[in-house]
Amino acid sequence: MAQGTVLRGRGVSAGMAAAPVVHLAPPLPEPDAGEVVDQAEREAEAQAIHWAAVAVAEDLRARTAGASGEARAILDASRLLASDPELVSEATQLVRAEGRSAARAVWEIAATHEAALAALGGRMAERVADVRDVRDRIIAELLEVDMPGVPVRDEPFVLVAVDLSPADTAALDGGRCVALVTEQGGPTSHTAIIARALGLPAVVGVAGATAIPASTTVLVDGDRGAVEVEPARSRIEEAETAAVVVPFGGEGHLADGARLPLLANVGGAADAVAAAAAHAEGVGLFRTEFCFLDRAEAPTVAEQVEAYRGVLAAFPGRRVVVRTLDAGSDKPLPFANADDEENPALGVRGLRVARRSPGLLDDQLRALALAAEHESALVEVMAPMVATVEEAQDFASRARAAGLSRVGIMIETPAAALLAAELLEVVDFVSLGTNDLAQYTLAADRLLGDLGDLNDPWQPAVLRLIGLVGDAGRAAGKSVGVCGEAAGDPALAPVLAGLGVTSLSMTPRSLGRVAAVLAEVTTEQCRRAADAVRGAATVEEARAAASVVRTR
């Protein structure tokens, strides 16, 4: 590939990094379909599948123990899949009845499961990659060969792949990988989520990326969605400067001294400790579903109290906003969601789970109130996936009855954004989930890479809805937060402030960069930027308008 070639994709994790390319280890070859195991050896061959699955599950369990937050949840989901008795029993039966080799039997049964999931479409189709990952792990164990995946290197490298499995993506933590480039994937894929959590620049949907020869130096620009082949030395130096972590002093403010608290998004106690160490001013989004993901049954109130206290303890005397269970859609739970929804993104998810299982919500609110009694954090609770004033009223009544005084809701649907003024009459605050707000506003599945350009918080329709919510917050004198990925975008932060947002919550690695940009602009500049962006008709116009105002 010629020097200076620039490949375009979707930037899903901000930042720049330059290093030689390393390709993801290739997948295992398809086992021989013609091999037939002798009758006398079939039982031993079948048992080998069982023990290989046990070994894979144990390996994933060990890796899960060393991970945290979203990486931990993703690894544990793969572990549960490896422990699936249906996959093992069907594969062993194929060995006993047909004489397939153990590796071939696992391959064929996995293919059947993949086809069934793909046929379901939507979120269930996303699990195909998970099945293939576990298939390869079991087969590698059976054949006693190296598992395909992320190579181990002593020097920094850019990982290039068609796509990354959940376990591989989560395994990047602590390695020498400095950036990610994939041909597939979208802004809310596992690759994108973990890249942002680890602070790795990432560009997905890059056609032809795997054609870049190994060891070729590339520059990955996660802000522009670009991959530069053999860049000039000046560009490499620019990337090296950008890779330096910007420290956060613990207080977000504008150039004129106006305060804009910068908070952190966390999934559990380990995340909260890391966020506190990064000087986050509090927690703007505690994703409680990560305390539920590895469970076949809902955790008890006592178990929940322990999990919540671990987060609250990291922020004594500071604000912690807790989102109630956001099960459903891409995070289904066996005890909360049905398996037969045709369109789970529009189905029983978030607060709607309480329609079927009100006890789940009441137990969670009670556990949170008990945890708050034992810690000094300033606890606030909010419900996800609210669309009507009646839903907000019911949630507020339940939360206050449980002993929680500060109650809010997520603004993730256009309906909630349009009703913001009325909603703020019944709740104390709102928080914008920009990922889902973009998905529902543009009618574009946030997990579908082909529609990544639509799932962009810079879309004018999304920004105008945010402005409506900000206006309602100003009129009511109540806080309006942003806890979606947009909050961690340094270029967008001044616009959000100008639109009426009163706090931003993000991955801790983004705090310093966002704070640095905010400290350079005044309240008036932010409002001018917001006004200019509100008049934009396209994403490009919105970005350009914000940039021009900031430089005045």
Domain ranges in the chain? 6-25+149-242, 39-143, 262-550
Catalytic residues: 190, 483
Where residue 214 falls (left for φ over 0; alpha for ψ -120 to 50; beta otherwise) is beta
Mean pLDDT over 383-389 rounds to 97
Distance CA 400, CA 383 (A): 13
Q: What are phi and psi of 12, to 5 degrees?
A: -115, -10
Predicted local confidence at residue 284, as pLDDT: 98
Q: Is the pLDDT of residue 161 over 70?
A: yes
Residues 6+ apart with CB under 8 A from 143: 28, 103
CATH of domain 262-550: 3.20.20.60
Element (H, E) at 320: strand 319-323
> Are 289 and 69 contacting, i.e. CB atoms less than 8 angstroms apart?
no
Q: Which of 453, 436, 505, 507 is nearest to 195 (CA)?
A: 507
Predicted local confidence at residue 349, as pLDDT: 85
238 band by pLDDT with thresholds 50, 70 and 90: confident
Supply the pTM of this predicted model: 0.69
70 band by pLDDT with thresholds 50, 70 and 90: low
DSSP for residue 386: -
Q: What are phi and psi of 99, to 5 degrees?
A: 80, 20
Distance CA 296, CA 38 (A): 39
Average model confidence (pLDDT) for the chain? 88
For CA atoms 226, 227, 230, 235, give the dihedral sign: positive
Mean pLDDT over 228-249 rounds to 87
Mean pLDDT over 56-64 rounds to 80
Residues 6+ apart with CB under 8 A from 267: 68, 69, 70, 72, 73, 286, 287, 290
What b/e readout covers 217-255, taking b as 16+ CB neighbours within 10 angstroms?
A: bbbbbbbebbbbbbbeeeebebbeebbeeeebeeebebe
* DSSP codes of every residue in 300-313: PHHHHHHHHHHHHT
- Using only the alpha carbons of the chain, give its radius of gyration: 24
Mean pLDDT over 36-61 rounds to 91
Predicted local confidence at residue 79, as pLDDT: 72
Convert the pLDDT of each residue in 132-150 to its tens digit: 888 888 999 999 886 777 8
Helices (H), 24-67: 42-65
Choose which CATH entry (3.30.413.10, 3.30.200.20, 1.10.274.10, 3.40.50.2300) describes domain 39-143: 1.10.274.10
Convert the pLDDT of each residue in 264-317 to its tens digit: 999 888 889 989 999 999 999 999 987 776 566 888 999 999 999 999 999 999
Predicted local confidence at residue 124, as pLDDT: 65
Predicted local confidence at residue 197, as pLDDT: 73
Which superfamily does 6-25+149-242 belong to?
Answer: Phosphohistidine domain (3.50.30.10)
71 band by pLDDT with thresholds 50, 70 and 90: low
Predicted local confidence at residue 447, as pLDDT: 61
Q: Is the pLDDT of residue 429 over 90?
A: yes
Least confident of 149-153, 164-168, 182-186, 281-285: 164-168
